[in-house]
Structure 1
Amino acid sequence: MASNTCAAGSGGSDLRRQAVWATYDAMKTSEILCIGSVLWDVIGRAPNAMRLGADVPGRITRLPGGVALNIAMTLRRFGLVPALLSAVGVDAEGEELVARCDQMGLITQHIYRSDDLPTDVYMAIEGANGLIAAIADAHSLEAAGDKVLRALSDGRLGSIDAPYSGIIALDGNLTESLLSQIAISPLFAAADLRVAPASPGKAERLLPLLTHPRATLYVNLEEAVILTKEPYPDAASAAAGLIARGAARVLVTDGGNSCAEGMACAGVITATPPQVLVTRVTGAGDTFMAAHIVATRKAVSRQEALNRAITAAADYVSGDIGT
């Protein structure tokens, strides 16, 4: 392999060259793409319950994040090698973020790097009573538009004549216009699409993909209500409602309450998460989605896949899985 021909010199350029080729070799066996937000998560966490306007002591962290990257990091923990398609600036924040992704073994060479767009950032406040507030600044990803998809059309990952046929995880930080294009694009016609809205505020962006025959939607109860404009008492009824509106497969979570998976012509199943002490919230849904993807790749039963996903999410929010 080409990576074995790199000189093992002591210089940084030699080490960097080896890392690039190692990533290239890994790319050729990757079967999962993560398309969407790759950014910095700035999270303030307090150990006590908080109310609007609270000013309390706590901890502030900055970590690699974004829906697509959170999913990719979880997939990597399960031993898979995802490729990222996103937009990241060439500013200092972007250089550091891409370097961190490289260190984790993620494939980054298909990320669109822009000279005039800053690296995106997500900011959240969490208390013992859950997420208090959050702002997602994903304007650079939105501005990049379909530039983030170039590798799917120019032959690097696929083309019109030979579209990508593996699993693609999409997140709702992409614009509704771009998601609408994806819903009808021949570049995605052979893919197994796994779709998440990113937040309730962006749930309606998924409407073009709701009835896509190859799409699986991962939403929480609030997002299911937004998508269907119907109230639901629980995840099971929400899953049934989404299937009735033409979805092929959906997974609906509801915090610590029972979650559900629904499939057209196969009904709805449910599972109840284990009770754990919640130490963090941001990224839990992405962990659930990634764990379910891994389980379905192993061809386990629907119930087992759902059980594995809720267990992974519970481990994450309890702090048993590191960031």
Structure 2
Amino acid sequence: MTRQADLLCIGAMLWDVIGRCPRPMPPGADMPGRIAHLPGGVALNVAVAVARWGMVPTVLSAVGRDAEGDALIAAASSLGVICDHLCRDGGPTDVYMAIEDSRGLIAAIADAHSLEDAGDLILTPIRDGRLASATQPWRGIAVIDGNLTTAQLARIAAEPGLSAADLRIVPASPGKAERLLPLIGAPHGCFYINRFEAEVLAHRPLANAQDAAFAMLDLGVQRVIVTDGAASVADGLTGAGVMTATPPAVPIARVTGAGDCFLAAHLAAELTGSDRKTALDRAVAAAAAHVSGKDMP
């Protein structure tokens, strides 16, 4: 029996290649460590995380018709993600490569050219009636990933198939934050960003997550959740102000994917009826467990 998706994740689906050294690494260092090859990309990371919370996600992305793409789809499917609506008519499967040490992320490169080149093709299932259409728009949550190009995001902002969706918008990195400008005024949108991404969008330094939340509300964002590493996080809602929560201090076992884990836990809490403060606290706890490695199988 075909499963019915209850959540869309639109954006990057790729392989994460993460190298991690358990000690601090100076620039140019060549040190022993571990290298992991994992399913990744913001859209897929969120989909995998929400599947753990009992939701049924489907990913709209571009995956190559190559051995890496076949293996990626098999891995994602085994983790509870519906992969029936992918665009596979472009280039090779995309890859994200990162280096981490005991203090966190050192550097990363995202090769998402196949996703970018696919353009409108990834949106076909919400236009042709398989998932939604102009006359029957998607009415659930749609997570939008900042790995998409500005042109793709502008089309999503005006997409009839998403006109009734609860958009949850996630930058891929500070360097790509400005791509999200077309979605700033979305009436049903919630941005999940870190303080550095808020600074890019606000064009000024921001002292903490609370200041960043107020800055984003001033820009016209309906709702925003701002993280700031190990410092306090903030939830800003137009007309209801800003509230904060403080993450627990934990040892760093990994950092890649922590924001996606945070978002998934927050979504799951809100979908089960939790209030803003409870949802924020649960998201903070889930991200801390991810960073510390306590949620590893």
TM-score (norm 2): 0.98
1:219-234 matches, within 5 Å, as 219-234=193-208
- Give the aligned partner of residue 147 of structure 2: 173
> What is the rounded CA distance, in whole Å, between the counterparts of 1:311 and 1:103 in structure 2?
26
- Alignment partner for residue 189 of structure 2, among 207, 212, 215? 215
Structure 1 residue matching 2:63: 3-state secondary structure: strand
1:144 counterpart = 2:118? yes
Letter in 2 for 1:146: D
Report the Cα distance in structure 1 between the residues aligned to 2:184 and 2:46, rounded to whole angstroms: 20
SS of equivalent to 1:118:
coil
**Matching residue of 1:85:** 60
Please give the per-residue CA displacement for 1:278-308, whole angstroms capped at 9, x wherever unaligned.
1101000111111111111112110000000
8 A contact 1:68–1:84 mirrored in 2: yes
**Residue 129 (structure 2) aligns with:** 155
Pairing partner for 1:108 from 69, 72, 83? 83
Q: Deviations over 1:137-174 (max 9, x none)?
A: 00000000110010001011111111111100010111
Q: Who is 2:40 aligned against?
A: 65
Q: CA deviation at 1:193?
A: 0.2
Amino acid at match of 2:8: L
Contact map agreement 1:193 1:216 (CA 8 A) in 2: yes
Alignment of 1:232-271 (within 5 A): 232-271=206-245
Unaligned runs of 5+ in 2: none
Structure 1 residue 322: Cα displacement? 2.0
Instruction: State the alpha-carbon separation in 2 of the partners of residues 70 and 57 from structure 1.
Output: 27
Distance between the aligned counterparts of 2:249 and 2:53, measured in 1?
23
Write the distance in 2 (CA, Å) between the matches of 1:37 and 1:246.
26
Identity %: 54
Secondary structure, counterpart of 1:87 in structure 2: coil
Q: Is the 8 A contact 1:173 1:198 kept in 2?
A: yes
SS for the counterpart of 2:32 is coil
What is the Cα deviation at residue 185 of structure 1? 2.0
- What TM-score does the superposition give when structure 1 sets the normalisation length? 0.91
Which of 274, 278, 288 is the equivalent residue of 1:314?
288
CA distance in 1, matches of 2:36, 2:76: 17
Q: For residues 203 and 253 of structure 2, what CA distance do their matches in structure 1 show? A: 32
Structure 1 runs not aligned, ≥5 long: 4-23
Counterpart secondary structure, 1:193: strand
**What CA distance in whole angstroms lies between the structure 2 residues aligned with 1:315 and 1:289?**
13
Q: 2:6 aligns with which of 31, 38, 48?
A: 31
